[in-house]
């Protein structure tokens, strides 16, 4: 069986957003049969990288299950208002990253995911 193709696209093709702004992304699945999909999870989250413990916070989460009524492969839009913090940060010791994440849960216990990172900044640079 082929790995499903997961595509994520920000609705206005920007990669830098401000706190409180509405954030939209579209996602679509390809190269997978609908019958092979159990669920799709869509989220907007932040995580840290660097020294010490890694942290993660989920700002938006939605789980779509296979009910037989909706094709989970079709183009789907997520929209949420971004929080005031934490802002993206690219330090030497720690980094804070924001991303849109799509996780696909397949029959037989397999899972595939895709992330697309963006910046949450007080002002656009």
Distance CA 10, CA 57 (A): 20
Distance CA 97, CA 30 (A): 27
The pLDDT tens digits for 56-88 are 999 999 999 987 788 999 999 999 999 999 999
The continuous run of DSSP H or E covering 42 comes out as strand 37-50
For position 84, what pLDDT does the model report? 96
Phi first, then psi, for residue 12 (nearest 5°) are -115, 15
**Who's near 9: CB < 8 A, 6+ residues apart?**
25, 26, 27, 116
For position 2, what pLDDT does the model report? 67
The pLDDT tens digits for 37-60 are 889 999 999 999 988 788 999 999
Highest mean pLDDT among 47-51, 109-113, 117-121: 117-121
Select the more confidently predicted residue: 22 or 13. 22
Length of the chain: 125
What CATH code would you report for 5-120? Answer: 2.60.40.640
pTM summary value: 0.89
């Amino acid at each position: 069986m082929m790995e499903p193709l997961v595509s994520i696209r920000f609705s206005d093709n920007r990669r830098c957003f401000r706190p409180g702004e509405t954030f939209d992304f579209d996602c679509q699945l390809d190269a997978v049969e609908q019958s092979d999909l159990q669920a799709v999870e869509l989220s907007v989250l932040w995580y840290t990288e660097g020294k010490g413990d890694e942290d993660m916070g989920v700002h938006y989460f939605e789980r779509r299950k296979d009910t037989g009524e909706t094709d989970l492969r079709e183009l789907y839009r997520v929209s949420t208002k971004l929080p005031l913090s934490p802002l993206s940060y690219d330090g030497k010791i720690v980094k804070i990253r924001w991303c849109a994440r799509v996780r696909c849960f397949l029959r037989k216990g397999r899972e595939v995911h895709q992330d697309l990172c963006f910046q949450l900044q007080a002002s656009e640079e």
